[in-house]
Structure 1
Amino acid sequence: MQNQNPSKHGFLIADAGGGTLDISAYAIKGTSPLAMEEIAPPDCIFAGSVFVSRRAREFLEERLKHSKYGTPDAIDHITRRFDETTKRLFRDRHDLQFIPFGSPLDKVGPYYDSTVGIRSGQLRLKTKVEYSQESVQPLIDMTSTAVANLFEPSVDAAVTSIKRQIEASNGMIRSVFLVGGYAASPWLFGSKAVADGAIGFYCDHHVSARMSKFMYGVEFLREVDPKDPDHVARSEKLCELPSGPRLLPDAFDCILARVSPSYGTVAKLN
């Protein structure tokens, strides 16, 4: 067993990108030359950073719908600034958060609306609700915890998928590498190295076997077994060839079972 798996454990790569989170699990099967095998079916979930932006936009549309900033163009601009600043820098649900989208010189005028928390060209995402002197309407009441909640569905989906991979590998996975653009988020994971997919690219060129996500097979005619109750129950579908064999249609012949290693030629990622 030690020769089959010199590392004695498997590892998982979670490639967090803009649209998807791609998860693959491997074990090292040889070192001279380096050879690795998938030890669990790979997973791909729609939980990338773009969905954080989508949830932020939905919040802004609701919060600013009665403001002059509730127009589609304004929402587009503020959401884009959220992507470029707040989303990339957010790391602590207790810190005060802003979305800067105007000029700091805009004390009044086009980038000022105290009723929704817009001052000096930035939208304040408050940690508590306050009231402006001009209006009894509270300033924008999106707390830092609410900012964290924009990330939570993606984080929860990632954790669920990773746990599923660990279970499918029968506990072999001991290490998890978080890579990709979305992995740069301090909130998603504050103590990792952003490898931009380099680990996954390297591993892909040394994988000798992959785990199938689905069962593959073909439809065929099965020879009748008169002792099989299921065959007897389907006797009305029986067909007999001129050469003599009596066959039943609609049978399925498995070529590659689900969650089984596939050896041979492996298509490499470009």
Structure 2
Amino acid sequence: MASEIVVGIDFGTTYSGVSWAVNGGIKAVRVINDWPNPSSTVATSDKVPTIISYQGGSPQWGFSVDNVRKDSFRWIKLLLDPKNQVGRSSEAVLTSMKLLGTLNKTAEDVAADYLRMIWNYAKEDIQKVRGDDWESIYTLKCVLTVPAIWSPVAKEKTLKIARMAGLPQNLNLVTEPEAAALAVLKEKSEEGEFLEVGDSFVVCDAGGGTVDLISYKIVDLNPLAVEECAVGDGGLCGSVYLDQAFERYIKTIVGESEWNSIKDKSKKKMMREFELAIKRCYAGDDQEYSVDLQGVEDNPEEGIDDDTITLKPSVLKTVFDHVIGQIMRLVEKQIDDAQENGNCVKAILLVGGFGTNRYMHKQLKDAHKKSGIQVLQNNGAWSAICRGATLWGLENSEHSPSAKKTVRARIARYSYGLSCAKRFDESKGHRLADRRKCPDGLFRAINQMEWLLEKGDKVEEGKILHTQLVANTQVGLLSTGMRYFSDELYYCGDDQPPSRKEISVKELCKVDYGIKCSKLWRETSYRDSTTKQKWRDATFDLFIGLDSATLHFFVLYKGEAVAYTEAKYKEEF
């Protein structure tokens, strides 16, 4: 078997990161930090801006895009989840949506183009370190991260985009908080830091667009093993919403008509200044900060003088409190959920770009001082997700089948199931409107749910869900070719999923499969008592494999894989 290189990609809302490792020897993870940057020859950065521009023909991306260029796509990731209506109201996303129309491109096309750019650069980095002939020596495995709060449809869409971008066939998704937790907990374990069997940790992954929370309990130390101990949570309250709140404030004090007359170049320069000089280092103190906004009229009452806006400490605090307050409520709820399950939460681990913010650390620390829960920020928190993705890929590789998985069990965030017809019984709450007479002469209640997995269930690593599918078909002795079938898989976010297909039960995907008529003809036949037509029932076994972020389907008929199986995901609007 050829040697393998595992590449982890953190495709973020505002910044993206890539790391890789050879699956052999010490398995050292290399974070790419020398991204192409025409404005700087020496600076390094663990991440590259998630920006792409098509001005002038060939796409420009990352640091190569002039930060004030009007035609650049920003926050494109927020367009990939149809459920995210909040992010679509932001100026950066609205600009990107307008650009899509002028370029005749979809959000998926643009995301794929950006991913292709960083993927090609990652391959250049591997070549630089492993030599020109590396592609003949190594096979490639890629792990791409996604927010845990994303819908299953958005996760599937990410896989599609990755394939459009030319990423390798050997491709997996992992949720961002799981990847971050893997990197941080493994480092703490190797450093011998305060981890004890039975301790629980809440990992708060605060990124640009999303904030994800996940809780783990330590079940072993040598090697490190953890299991999720509460249903993960999250929200759309990442640092881009801080940008939005700040921009709204500036717009208010400047006035709408004057704001509209100011050049986009000046606005973007001001927002860049806010990001680098204020957002990252604000600590909630009384220090005065200012930003430059060229072309703004003087207004001493509002602190505007000579193209400079001085920001009142109370205003900045309000802007930060609005977003950080949402994150603190999510953290509080996650701690409560973990403790309700009998876990003792020892620490909150802050990761992600926004997780490095000093004010958030202070607020969380003050809030949990009495309970004795520590709030920890780690060096390298910004690159933790891409490093964790690489580590996850090394653990979940065919090249190392005996590798011990760090995450031994997860908690289901959704219920998954099938709609079925059950023997009609009013005493079980079946509705008359659902009653149907079937070809076998029995009355059954349609629209009933059979849940294969319920939200909150513990899912052991490697668990496979199984159910049987019964298909009615008309096949004769002379029938040839294939007969195709289709079953819908549903999901539900309710804490207690309903027994019937109610409004909260959403279609996830159709599982299409087919089998030769010559095999189906061997099934026992029966006649419909009403129409006298001849039918046969075929029983299939549906298996669903679960990992951190994706579902894998396979269908068997009498112990053999059927000729054709495909899951077609339903779009959400």
Same fold (TM over 0.5): yes
1:66-111 C-alpha deviation (Å, 9 max, x unpaired):
8967634243332332222122232134222222567xxxxxxx78
Contact 1:82 1:99 in 2 (8 A): yes
1:76 maps to a residue whose letter is K
23-32 vs 93-102, greater mean Cα deviation: 93-102
Report the TM-score when normalising by structure 1: 0.75
Contact 1:93 1:147 in 2 (8 A): no
Q: Where do 5+ consecutive residues of structure 1 fail to align?
A: 1-5, 103-109, 126-142
Matches within 5 A, 1:81-230: 81-100=273-292, 113=298, 115=300, 116-119=302-305, 122-125=308-311, 143-169=312-338, 170=340, 172=343, 173-190=345-362, 192-194=377-379, 195-196=381-382, 198=384, 201=388, 206-225=406-425, 228=427, 230=429
TM-align CA RMSD: 3.0
1:31: Cα distance to partner?
3.4
Q: Which has the higher contact order (CA 8 A, sep 6+)?
A: 1
Contact 1:37 1:209 in 2 (8 A): yes
Distance 1:238 1:123, change over 3 A: closer
Contact 2:282 2:357 in 1 (8 A): yes
Contact 1:220 1:252 in 2 (8 A): yes
Secondary structure, aligned partner of 1:14: strand
State yes or no: 1:80 paired with 2:272.
yes
1:118: Cα distance to partner?
3.6
176-185 vs 69-78, greater mean Cα deviation: 69-78
Q: Where do 5+ consecutive residues of structure 2 fail to align?
A: 1-195, 363-375, 396-405, 463-545, 550-573
Larger relative strand fraction: 2
Secondary structure, aligned partner of 1:259: coil
**1: CA distance between counterparts of 2:411 and 2:237?**
22
**2: CA distance between counterparts of 1:16 and 1:196?**
10
**2: CA distance between counterparts of 1:70 and 1:88?**
28
Matches within 5 A, 1:50-61: 50-61=240-251
1:92-141 C-alpha deviation (Å, 9 max, x unpaired):
34222222567xxxxxxx7883534344653222xxxxxxxxxxxxxxxx
Distance 1:118 1:70, change over 3 A: farther
Residue aligning to 1:3: none
2:197 maps to a residue whose letter is S
Identity across aligned pairs (percent)?
A: 22
**2: CA distance between counterparts of 1:69 and 1:179?**
35
Distance 1:223 1:65, change over 3 A: same
Contact 1:88 1:186 in 2 (8 A): yes
1:47: Cα distance to partner?
1.0
Secondary structure, aligned partner of 1:41: coil
1:178: Cα distance to partner?
0.5
Distance 1:221 1:78, change over 3 A: same
**2: CA distance between counterparts of 1:10 and 1:197?**
23
Secondary structure, aligned partner of 2:255: coil
Distance 1:166 1:89, change over 3 A: closer
1:157: Cα distance to partner?
1.2
Contact 2:227 2:409 in 1 (8 A): yes
1:214: Cα distance to partner?
1.6
Residue aligning to 2:197: 7
Contact 1:101 1:121 in 2 (8 A): yes
Moved over 6 A (4+): 66-70
1:257: Cα distance to partner?
0.9
How many residue pairs get matched? 237
**2: CA distance between counterparts of 1:59 and 1:78?**
13
Report the TM-score when normalising by structure 2: 0.37
1:218: Cα distance to partner?
0.7
